[in-house]
C-alpha cells in the first residue's frame, strides 16, 4: 500500500469526513499541510486574521449543522484563533481546528512560534489532541469530528507537529469511532418522559423555555408540533430564536435581561417550566433566588448531564438528544386523554400573556422625524428581505434590538455570540454563513465599535466576491457600555465615546461599496439601493447615542424588577 505524508493523510481524512471548505491562514509550521491542500478539491478561504477564521467556521457550522474547519499555524496563528474557539465552546458550536506545531523534538524548548495550544485551549475546548505518532493521525481526525459534532457540540483542536506532517505512513481512514469514556445519552428515560407529561397535564400555566440545543438537535419541527398540539406558549433564548416562527401566536419572543415585559412576566407566573436545550444562563434567569418563583415543577431536557441542576435545581431531569426526547413526548401525549381537557385552561393562560404584551409593548414610538431609530432600521431590513435571510450580529445594543424586533421564521437564520459575547463575531460569521448557504441572503448588523474588531475580513469578502450586506448602527459610542454607565454609573461615561473612520471610504478602499445614511427620509431609498448592489456592501447609519435597549433587568436583579422604557 502506498505511503502518504502526514500532511496528505490530514487532507485525505478531511475529504473522507465530507469537508468542502476550510477557513485558514498559512504559516511555517502548517506549510506541509497547506502544500498537500493545493492538490485537493477542498475550497480554502484565506482570511485576514485567525480569529476571523474561527468565527467563519462557527457561522458555517451554525447554518449547516456540521463542524466548521479552521487551519492555522503555530504560536500566534493558533493563539489568535483562541477567542473564536472559546466562543464556539460557550455556544456549543462544532468546530475542528487544525493547528501547526513545532517539531516534536523542539516542543518545550521555547522554539520560534511555539505555544502550548493544547494547554491554552484545555479550559475552552470540548477536547484537544497533540499528535505524537503518525500512526494515530487518521484515527485522531476521525475522533475529532465525532466529538465536535456529537452530544453537546463544541470545538476540538488537533495540534500537528511539523515532523508528523512530513513523516510517511499508509493511510486507512477508520469507519467507526469507539471512545470508552465518551458515550452521549441519546434516548431519554421513558419513565422521566412520562413524569414530565404528567406534570404538564396537571399544570395550569405551563411554559416552554427553549435554548440553542433545539436547533443543534434539528428539533424545531418536533418542538413546534408539540407546542401547537398542546397549545402551550414558547419563549426562546437568544440562541434559540427562529425555533418557533415569529408569526405563531404561541411564540412569545426572547426572555431574560432584555426580554419583553409580557414574556418575563409569564416566566414569573408559570407553574410548570419546561426547559428544552437551555442552560439557565445568568442573562436569562436574573437573580436565581427569584427565577420562576411560582413554578411548582421545573422540567429540564438536555443532552449534557452536567448542565442539569447546575444553576437551577430541576424536578424532572431528562438526559437525551432533544429531537429523540420530543419525539417520545409526542408519542406519550397522543395516548393521554386528559391533555385535551386542559386546552381551554391553557388558552386562557396564553390570552393573559398577550394582554401583558399589549399593556407594556416593546418600543411604542419607533419613529422620529428628526433622527433615525434602530426600530426603523430593523423594520426597513425586514421590508427588504421579508425575513427570508440569515442575520449575523456582533455584540451590544444592535444585537439586542435585532433579537427583540426582527421576526425570525425559521431556525439557523440568526447567528450571534451568546455565551462569550464576542465583539467582532458578526462579519466573519456572516461570511462563513454565505459559504454554507450561497443561495440565501446574508445580512450583518453591527455597531461602530464591534465592526472595527474584525473589519479586515471585508478584504476576504471582496476577494471571494461575497454578496453580503453589513449594516452599521453608528452612535459614536460603545453603545451598551454607555447605556450601563448612564443607568448604573451616574452617567459617568468613562472611555466609551469612540471616534470612527469614514466607513464609506474604508469600504471603497477594500474594494467594497459604501453608503451613509443620516436622515430618516433617506433610509428607505438608500437601503433599497444598497441592497440592490451586488457584492460586499457596507451601510453606515447614524443613530442617536441616547437610544437604549429596553426593558432591562438590572444587574443582580430579578425578572420582576425590570426597568421599562
What integer is the mean pLDDT of 543-547? 94
Listed as own residue / partner, the contacts of 287-293 with beta carbons closer than 8 Å and 24 or more positions apart are: 287/556, 287/557, 287/558, 288/312, 289/558, 290/558, 290/559, 290/560, 291/267, 291/558, 291/559, 292/267, 292/268, 293/268
Percent of the chain with pLDDT over 90: 95
Q: Residue 434: is its pLDDT beyond 70?
A: yes
pLDDT band at 512 (very low <50, low <70, confident <90, very high): very high
Question: Strands, E, within 270-313: which ranges?
Answer: 272-276, 297-302
Q: Which domains does the chain have, with CATH numbers?
A: 3-170 (3.40.50.970), 190-359 (3.40.50.1220), 374-542 (3.40.50.970)
**Dist CA 339 CA 414 (whole Å):** 33
User: What integer pLDDT is reported at residue 1 of this predicted model?
Assistant: 75
Q: Residue 238: is its pLDDT beyond 70?
A: yes
Assign 44 to helix, strand or coil. Answer: strand
Other CB atoms within 10 A of residue 271 CB:
17
What integer is the mean pLDDT of 478-494? 96
**Dist CA 470 CA 406 (whole Å):** 16
| pLDDT tens digits, one per residue of 278-325 | 999 999 999 999 999 999 999 999 999 999 999 999 999 999 999 999
Helices (H) and strands (E) in the chain, counts: 23, 20
What residues are annotated to the active site? 50, 112-113, 162, 480
**How many angstroms separate the first and last alpha carbons of the chain?**
71
**Dist CA 520 CA 466 (whole Å):** 29
Residue 500 contacts residue 538 (beta carbons within 8 Å): no
Dump the DSSP string for 189-258.
Answer: PHHHHHHHHHHHHT-SSEEEEE-THHHHTT-HHHHHHHHHHHT--EEE-GGGTTSS-TTSTTEEEE-STT
User: What integer pLDDT is reported at residue 88 of this predicted model?
Assistant: 98
**Dist CA 233 CA 193 (whole Å):** 19
Contact residues for 337 (Cβ-Cβ < 8 A; gap 6+): none
Assign 442 to helix, strand or coil. Answer: strand
- Grid coordinates representing 537? 456592501
Q: How far is the CA of 138 from the CAs of 6, 122, 144, in angstroms?
A: 9, 22, 10
Dump the DSSP string for 364-390.
Answer: S----SSS--HHHHHHHHHHHHTT-EE
pLDDT band at 49 (very low <50, low <70, confident <90, very high): very high
Other CB atoms within 10 A of residue 180 CB:
5
- Backbone angles phi and psi of 153, in degrees to 5: -65, 165
Structural Rg of the chain based on CA atoms:
24
Starting at the edge strand found earlier in the chain, the sheet holding 441-447 runs: 414-415, 389-393, 441-447, 468-474, 537-542, 513-517
User: What integer pLDDT is reported at residue 343 of this predicted model?
Assistant: 86
User: What integer pLDDT is reported at residue 366 of this predicted model?
Assistant: 62
Mean pLDDT of the chain: 96
Least confident of 88-97, 364-373, 471-480: 364-373
Q: Residue 515: is its pLDDT beyond 90?
A: yes
User: What integer pLDDT is reported at residue 146 of this predicted model?
Assistant: 98
What integer is the mean pLDDT of 429-446? 98
**DSSP-assigned beta bridge partners for residue 208:** 234, 274
| pLDDT tens digits, one per residue of 171-223 | 999 999 999 999 999 999 999 999 999 999 999 999 999 999 999 999 999 99
**Dist CA 406 CA 389 (whole Å):** 11
| pLDDT tens digits, one per residue of 440-476 | 999 999 999 999 999 999 999 999 999 999 999 999 9
User: What integer pLDDT is reported at residue 365 of this predicted model?
Assistant: 62
User: What integer pLDDT is reported at residue 48 of this predicted model?
Assistant: 98
**Dist CA 197 CA 342 (whole Å):** 12
Amino acid at each position: 500500500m502506498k505511503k502518504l505524508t502526514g500532511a496528505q493523510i490530514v487532507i485525505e481524512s478531511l475529504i473522507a469526513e465530507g469537508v468542502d471548505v476550510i477557513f485558514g491562514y498559512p504559516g511555517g509550521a502548517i506549510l506541509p499541510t497547506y502544500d498537500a491542500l493545493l492538490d485537493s478539491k477542498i475550497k480554502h478561504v484565506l482570511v485576514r486574521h485567525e480569529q476571523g477564521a474561527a468565527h467563519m467556521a462557527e457561522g458555517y457550522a451554525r447554518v449547516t449543522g456540521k463542524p466548521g474547519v479552521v487551519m492555522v499555524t503555530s504560536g500566534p496563528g493558533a493563539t489568535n484563533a483562541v477567542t473564536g474557539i472559546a466562543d464556539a465552546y460557550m455556544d456549543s458550536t462544532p468546530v475542528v481546528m487544525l493547528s501547526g506545531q513545532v517539531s516534536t523534538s523542539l516542543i518545550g524548548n521555547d522554539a520560534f512560534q511555539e505555544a502550548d495550544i493544547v494547554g491554552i485551549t484545555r479550559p475552552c475546548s470540548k477536547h484537544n489532541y497533540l499528535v505524537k505518532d503518525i500512526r494515530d493521525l487518521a484515527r485522531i481526525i476521525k475522533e475529532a469530528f465525532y466529538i465536535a459534532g456529537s452530544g453537546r457540540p463544541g470545538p476540538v483542536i488537533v495540534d500537528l507537529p511539523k515532523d508528523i506532517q512530513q513523516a510517511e505512513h499508509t493511510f486507512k481512514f477508520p469507519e467507526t469511532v469507539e471512545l470508552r469514556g465518551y458515550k452521549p445519552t441519546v434516548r431519554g428515560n421513558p419513565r422521566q418522559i412520562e413524569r414530565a407529561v404528567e406534570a404538564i397535564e396537571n399544570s395550569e400555566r405551563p411554559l416552554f423555555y427553549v435554548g440553542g440545543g433545539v436547533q443543534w438537535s434539528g428539533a424545531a419541527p418536533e418542538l413546534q408540533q408539540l407546542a401547537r398540539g398542546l397549545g402551550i406558549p414558547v419563549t426562546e433564548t437568544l440562541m434559540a430564536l427562529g425555533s418557533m416562527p415569529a408569526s405563531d401566536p404561541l411564540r412569545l419572543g426572547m426572555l431574560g435581561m432584555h426580554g419583553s415585559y409580557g414574556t418575563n412576566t409569564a416566566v414569573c407566573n408559570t407553574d410548570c417550566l419546561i426547559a428544552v436545550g437551555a442552560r439557565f444562563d445568568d442573562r436569562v434567569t436574573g437573580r436565581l433566588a427569584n427565577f420562576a418563583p411560582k413554578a411548582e415543577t421545573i422540567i429540564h431536557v438536555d443532552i449534557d448531564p452536567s448542565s442539569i441542576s447546575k444553576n437551577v435545581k430541576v424536578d424532572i431531569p431528562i438526559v437525551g438528544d432533544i429531537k429523540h426526547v420530543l419525539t417520545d413526548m409526542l408519542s406519550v401525549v397522543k395516548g393521554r386523554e386528559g391533555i385535551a381537557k386542559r386546552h381551554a385552561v391553557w388558552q386562557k393562560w396564553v390570552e393573559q400573556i398577550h394582554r401583558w404584551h399589549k399593556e407594556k409593548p416593546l418600543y411604542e414610538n419607533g419613529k422620529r422625524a428628526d433622527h433615525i431609530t434602530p426600530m426603523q432600521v430593523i423594520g426597513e431590513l425586514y421590508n427588504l428581505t421579508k425575513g427570508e435571510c440569515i442575520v449575523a450580529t456582533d455584540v451590544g445594543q444592535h444585537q439586542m434590538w435585532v433579537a427583540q424586533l426582527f421576526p425570525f421564521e425559521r431556525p439557523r437564520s440568526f447567528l450571534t455570540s451568546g455565551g462569550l459575547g464576542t465583539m467582532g463575531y458578526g462579519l466573519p460569521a456572516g461570511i462563513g454563513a454565505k459559504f454554507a448557504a450561497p443561495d440565501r441572503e446574508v445580512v450583518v448588523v453591527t455597531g461602530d465599535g464591534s465592526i472595527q474588531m474584525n473589519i479586515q475580513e471585508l478584504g476576504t469578502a471582496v476577494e471571494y466576491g461575497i454578496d453580503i450586506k453589513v449594516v452599521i448602527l453608528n452612535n459614536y459610542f460603545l453603545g451598551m457600555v454607555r447605556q450601563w454607565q448612564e443607568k448604573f454609573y451616574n452617567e459617568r461615561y468613562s472611555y466609551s465615546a469612540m471616534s470612527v473612520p469614514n466607513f464609506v471610504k474604508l469600504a471603497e478602499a477594500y474594494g467594497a461599496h459604501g453608503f451613509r445614511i443620516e436622515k430618516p427620509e433617506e433610509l428607505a431609498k438608500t437601503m433599497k439601493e444598497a441592497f440592490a448592489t451586488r457584492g460586499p456592501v457596507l451601510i453606515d447609519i447614524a443613530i442617536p447615542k441616547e437610544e437604549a435597549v429596553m426593558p432591562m433587568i438590572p444587574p443582580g436583579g430579578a425578572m420582576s424588577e425590570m426597568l421599562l422604557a
